[in-house]
Chains A and B, each alone.
Chain A
Amino acid sequence: MNYPVVKGAAYALVQANSMLLYQGTTQITERLKNEQSEHLKALPEHLRSYEDAVSYPPNQAYIGNITPDQLKEIPHPWYENPLAGASRDGKYGEIMPEDEFFGLMKMVDSFDLVLLEEAFQAVVKEKLQSHPILKDIKEITKLDSTAHSADEIKKLVAEHDAQPLYFAGKLVGCVKKAHEFDEALSSEVMLGNLANKASAVLVLKHLLAKTDLNPEQVDYIIECSEEACGDMNQRGGGNFAKAIGEICGCINATGSDTRSFCAGPAHALVEAAALVQSGIYSNVVVVGGGSTAKLGMNSRDHVKKGMPALEDMLAAFAVHIGENDGVNPVIRTDAIGRHRIGSGASPQAVMTAMVTDPLDKIGYKITDIDRYAPELQNPEITEPAGAGNVPMANYKMISALAVKRGDIQKADLMKAVESIGMPGFAPTQGHIPSGVPFIGHARDMLLEGKLERAMIIGKGSLFLGRLTNLFDGVSMIIEKNSGVVEADTGFDQEQLRKMIAEAMRDFAKTFRE
């Protein structure tokens, strides 16, 4: 069978301290309750510098400058053990500072909702004009258009519900609401959606720059973040995918948005694989931008524990799924794991549906998978907030399942945890940690022969939408390419004629008997 392949993956981060303070929902709620709260007073002291965010080891793992295995060797707390010589530019993408990102938001804004202060806009324009992959976006000319005075921006924020954009302690811009009364187009929603679009554009541009995929070759884009774009009559109408593709010059692509909370990217990858394998499209890109709402989500706990506010990163990823080329790792579409509606909600039922059911389908044992990539949340962010080490919990569950199935001995449980796992290195941006951060590393390791196969697991908590208490999850196995590309076995007229003749002969025979 010609399985679809993972042709490339890109990852980008944006440090977003201003958006953490003003658009992170934890801070918004706090401000509504008490503008003078202790948390709001203390939080600015806990914000990191851009340099600290760049040298933070998990961020370097996310953009591909170190592997998860190298990260494992760095002692905790990682925020006290910065990576020497860390770079903004990574093998898979980059870590962008917030000022440039505000400029990028203005570039991707089709409705003139992002306003930047004159002097700030001039500085940012210069920086983006020398950005290696963003300078050729034609919308960069938006940075030539009307800039605004500081007073105008101040007034819009104070009197017209515009969202403030700060940089280095100064109000440097704002995002206006897109409608007078429509809450689906409020300034808060528009800022979130524009930041999501801009970060997705950044990562898709990286994918196009770092692989041999040309924008014109992209047939379909599946966007899989957790935002909703639309007006009050169609709040989740979409379409982020086409909006992102438009900026990146994907003129031959169409696309759509796929949602399933944190499991969205895994669903999107399965859909992309299906579209390619069926022959409907040759090149499909799965892309997800970052979430401003989740910035500083657990910052109360981080502040209380005297740590830096580590949730200051907007994260984005893009993966290219293409036809079998005999080289790149394949997605085993005959062994897709899924949490069925009837699977049940106990952790055991969930893991069975997602991990062992697909393995059973193709006769693999749990130990036949070299690495599992479940929810890869950075434990340094989740542990202080009482949510534990999420990837570690998953590895223990998978290994316990292996014990229950007799794949390993109980005494070897922790040994298995050690060998199938990796430390979590993804920011807690909802859909981002769910398996996908490992795809870039997995692809490299499979190409280098360091792995035979890996499993990507996406999980989602659907109860958050208050429509169902069901759990959700999807998994897929990525495997080393056998190197064999099967010839196209399309429609064979001769063979069909023979089959019909044979069937008619059999039919005639029944009359003779």
Chain B
Amino acid sequence: MDLENQARIKDLYDKYGKDDLIVVLGGAEPEASGLAAETVATGDPTFAGPLSGVSLGLKAYHIFELKDEIPADVYDEQVGMMEMVLDVDEIVNEVKTYRK
């Protein structure tokens, strides 16, 4: 996960705490999405960024999982095309793993 994003998430966590914060991912690959979910949950597994060894315990959701929360026309305009081309199930399963 991008080091800059790790720093941003850490700042937001410090400001708002864990209970009112979720992370929404838009990754196109299962592995990269899972890595991002893992990073905000238990820390950066690559030990490269500010979340190395920092377990924030944040829950990450892929945007595909939030379809019902979003007005249908907005979802279609913003995500519809990508939903058609990406492996939605695999990405969602991978991200879910880190919320358990």
Which A residues are within 8 Å of any B CB, using their own CB?
Answer: 346-349, 351, 386-388, 393, 396-397, 399-401, 403-404, 410, 413
Contacts and interface: CB of A to CB of B under 8 A. Distances in A.
B28 A346 contact: no
The 6 lowest CB-CB distance pairs between A and B, nearest first, are A396-B85, A400-B84, A348-B81, A346-B78, A386-B32, A400-B81
B82 A397 contact: yes
Nearest to B82: A347
Given A349-B78, A387-B29, 10 more contacts: A346-B78, A348-B77, A348-B78, A388-B28, A388-B29, A393-B28, A393-B85, A403-B84, A404-B81, A410-B84
Contact of A404 (B28, B31, B32, B80): B80
Given A387-B29, A388-B28, A346 B77 contact: yes
B80 to A, nearest CB: 7
Contact of A346 (B29, B32, B79): B79
Contact of B84 (A346, A387, A393, A413): A413
B35 interface: yes
Contacts of A393: 28, 85
Contacts of B28: 388, 393
B29 A347 contact: no
Nearest to A382: B29
B20 to A, nearest CB: 24
A386 B32 CA distance: 6
A470 to B, nearest CB: 16
Contacts of A346: 77-79, 82
Contacts of B84: 396, 400, 403-404, 410, 413
Given A346-B78, A348-B77, A400 B29 contact: no
* Size bracket of the B interface: 10 to 19
Interface in B26-67: 28-29, 31-32, 35
Contacts of B29: 386-388
A347 B31 contact: no
Given A386-B29, A387-B32, A400 B85 contact: yes
A348 B82 contact: yes
B35 A351 contact: no
Interface in B70-89: 77-82, 84-85
A346 B63 CA distance: 12
Interface of A is mostly: helix
Contacts of B85: 393, 396-397, 399-400
Contacts of A404: 80-81, 84
A402 to B, nearest CB: 10
Which residue, of A347, A387, A403, has the highest number of chain B Cβ atoms within 10 A? A347
Contacts of B81: 347-348, 351, 397, 400-401, 404
A386 B82 contact: no
Nearest to B78: A346
| Residue in B79, B81, B84 whose Cβ sees the most chain A Cβ within 10 Å | B81
Contacts of B35: 386
A399 B29 CA distance: 19
Q: A387, A400, A401, A410 — which one has the most chain B CB atoms within 10 A of its CB?
A: A400
A381 to B, nearest CB: 15
A400 B87 CA distance: 14
A413 B81 CA distance: 12
B56 to A, nearest CB: 21
22 contacts: A346-B77, A347-B82, A348-B77, A348-B78, A348-B79, A348-B81, A349-B77, A386-B31, A386-B32, A386-B35, A387-B32, A393-B28, A397-B82, A397-B85, A400-B81, A400-B82, A401-B81, A403-B84, A404-B81, A404-B84, A410-B84, A413-B84
Nearest to B79: A346
B64 to A, nearest CB: 13
B77 to A, nearest CB: 7
Contacts of B32: 386-388
A403 B80 CA distance: 11
Among B32, B35, B84, B85, chain A packs the most CB atoms within 10 A around the CB of: B85
Interface centre among A349, A386, A403 (most CB of B within 10 A): A386
Nearest to A413: B84
Nearest to B2: A463
Nearest to A399: B85
Contacts of A403: 84
B85 to A, nearest CB: 4
Contacts of B31: 386
Contacts of A413: 84
Contacts of A410: 84
Question: Counting chain B CB atoms within 10 Å of each CB, which of A388, A399, A401 scores highest?
Answer: A388
A410 B78 CA distance: 19
A347 B85 CA distance: 11
A61 B94 CA distance: 36
Contacts of A388: 28-29, 32
Nearest to A345: B78
Contacts of B78: 346, 348-349
A401 B84 CA distance: 9
Contacts of A399: 85
A348 B73 CA distance: 13
A346 B78 CA distance: 6
A386 B77 CA distance: 26
